Amino acid sequence: MAQHWTHRGGGWLPPQRPRPGVVPLRPLGPGDILGGAFTALSRYGGRLCGALLLG
């Protein structure tokens, strides 16, 4: 991963760790499925509603 420049304080920062995905990689229960759906809706709500209206 490449380093990036920041305007806060100046200088190079180490790369940030990747964030985990929406759904965990393990056997899923009903709570995990609903939690993933609500997480996806909160992150990508506008895009999901736009795709719903177009479809």
Reported as a single tens digit per residue, the pLDDT across 15-34 is 777 777 765 677 888 998 89
CB 27 within 8 A of CB 34: no
For residues 3 and 12, which has the higher predicted lDDT (pLDDT)? 12
Highest mean pLDDT among 6-15, 19-28, 43-52: 43-52
Alpha helices by DSSP H, listed for 1-55, are: 30-54
CB 52 within 8 A of CB 44: no
For the chain, give the mean pLDDT: 77
SS3 for 4?
Answer: strand
pLDDT score at 26: 75
Which structure tokens are listed for 2?
């490449």
Q: Tell me what percent of the residues of the chain surpass a pLDDT of 70.
A: 69
Residues 4, 7, 19, 37: is their CA dihedral positive or negative?
negative
For residues 35 and 55, which has the higher predicted lDDT (pLDDT)? 35
